[in-house]
Chains A and B, each alone.
Chain A
Amino acid sequence: MQLIVLTPWDLTLAALLVLLLAALSWRLHLGIERRLLLAAVRSSVQLIVVGLVLGSLFATTDLRLIGLLALLMLSVAGWEVRARQKRRYRGLWSYGIGAVSMFLSSFSITVLALTVIIRVDPWYQPQYLIPLLGMLLGNTMTGVAVALDNLTRQASDARAMIEAQLLLGARWDEAIGEIRRDALRSGLIPIVNAMSTAGLVSLPGMMTGQILAGSPPLEAAKYQLLIMFLIASGTGLGSLSAVWIGSRRLFDERERLRLDRLK
């Protein structure tokens, strides 16, 4: 089977559907048309630029260039995690906790997958590294953002309960233990749900893309499985480290609950 190349005209047709939705939103006073159009324009520009950049990048195997792109991806993911927090940490922490956790999980798992599982040579070949890292970062980002948001929100709501435990002689990790577990669970639920319904309700995006591009379905399924396992472990590791660093930051060296460290 051959890859069917999409023409600009094909894309214009699909874009017309979005325009139609925007018109409907305007007619029904939903108030979402501006954001919808802006998001559509943003995704068009971003994806076309990325497509162009990747095209030329795949030709090179310059580790510095690839590293630069990977760091750019990480920093955008860091901002996204920060933006999704209702109660942010003050200072660099709001950015740092998410970025460090995603770095630890996504980068290490990507390198592991490239060197041990897929065995690409050289391991940093961008055609494999960039999409894989993107998948991992995108999903880990969601898990980390949800887990951190849950942690800080619950901790600020439960101040009296946490301090009551501290006052009766509990250590900080005992006093926040239940909240910490809850935050972790909330970060992991989306990927667990995605894995348990994968293929039954809808085909995962990557598998769909591979099939549309002409891969045999079973090969596409194997790659999808690999990605899902990587995503699950990446999300787990990332949420774990974000919740651990985040909860430690809520207490100071004398194990006092310091909600003033949140905005």
Chain B
Amino acid sequence: MARLALRALRPRHGLAAVDLDIDAGELLLLSGPSGAGKSVLLRAIADLDPHQGQVWLGERAASAMAPAEWRRRVGLLMAESGWWGATVGDHFPAALHADLHAERLSALGFGLEVLDWSVARLSTGERQRLALARLLARQPEVLLLDEPTANLDSSNRARVEQVILDYRQQHQAAVLWVSHDDAQRQRLVAQHQARALLICERALVAEPCS
């Protein structure tokens, strides 16, 4: 697994040019007022929006990789997940055997039968957890998470946190996690050596600005 490096990355709006390194296996927390450009930054890193500057995964630049391959390796979990198929199972890679999903699905509080559920009957919280499951099923090398626990109750929030931390551990994935939850940020910084950054005057900073 590799380090993610942003070089003079300037998203469509919000932030000024960003330089940032996230090592393999590192957990970086990002917070800031809504509208400051957090989601837009994540979209730029995943190369989903036009932007200036370059993003590197290890030795390879985004522009040197096929777009589909880049996005599979640099996995973005959006705050609102899109579902195009009829059942949950339609959104998981067909090549992978169901057994391989079973462990992670149960860690997220689902049985294997969830793959046969119709997408239309999922609640917001279920969608959020299943969106994480379908993303991790593609084994990305980097995780870009846009408020992955925003709509969850405390027990499911703990499940999702654990699944993300386990994935980071097992795959040495670089993780960029946008969170508005102060308690969550403090917990992750204290117990999991996370680095926390804020958005202040269109830049990423370590300390709150006055």
Contacts and interface: CB of A to CB of B under 8 A. Distances in A.
B67 A163 contact: no
Contacts of A252: 50
B80 A170 contact: no
Contact of B48 (A167, A171, A178): A167
Centre residue among B69, B72, B78, B84 by max chain A CB count within 10 A: B84
Interface string B130-144: 000011001000000
Contacts of A165: 82, 84
A230 interface: no
A163 B82 contact: yes
A257 B67 CA distance: 12
A162 B82 CA distance: 8
Contacts of B68: 166, 169-171, 255
Contacts, number: 63
Contacts of B84: 158, 161-162, 164-165, 178
Contacts of B49: 256
**Interface size class of chain A, counting residues whose CB lies under 8 Å from the partner chain:** 20 to 34
B147 interface: no
A35 interface: no
B47 A168 contact: no
Contact of A254 (B47, B78, B83, B138): B47
**Interface size class of chain B, counting residues whose CB lies under 8 Å from the partner chain:** 20 to 34
Given A163-B48, A256-B48, A256-B50, A169 B71 contact: yes
Contact of A168 (B50, B63, B134): B134
A52 interface: no
B186 interface: no
Interface string A138-171: 0000000000000000000011111111111111
Nearest to A252: B50
B81 interface: yes
Given A160-B82, A161-B82, A162-B82, A167 B75 contact: yes
B175 interface: no
Contacts of A163: 48, 78, 82
B46 interface: yes
Given A166-B48, A167-B75, A254 B67 contact: yes
A166 B71 contact: yes
A256 B138 contact: no
Contacts of B91: 168
A165 B78 CA distance: 12
Contacts of B134: 168
A85 B138 CA distance: 38
Contacts of A168: 71-72, 75, 91, 134-135, 138
B138 A169 contact: yes
B145 interface: no
A166 B76 CA distance: 10
Centre residue among B50, B67, B75 by max chain A CB count within 10 A: B67
A178 B76 CA distance: 23
Centre residue among A163, A172, A255, A257 by max chain B CB count within 10 A: A163
A163 B63 CA distance: 19
A178 B83 CA distance: 13
B82 A164 contact: yes
A165 B92 CA distance: 11
A74 to B, nearest CB: 34
B101 to A, nearest CB: 14
B67 A167 contact: no
A161 B83 contact: yes
Nearest to A179: B84
Nearest to A171: B68
A172 B70 CA distance: 13
A256 B67 contact: yes
Interface in B1-49: 46-49
Given A159-B82, A163-B78, A168-B91, 5 more contacts: A162-B84, A167-B75, A168-B71, A170-B68, A255-B68
Interface of A: 158-172, 178, 252, 254-258
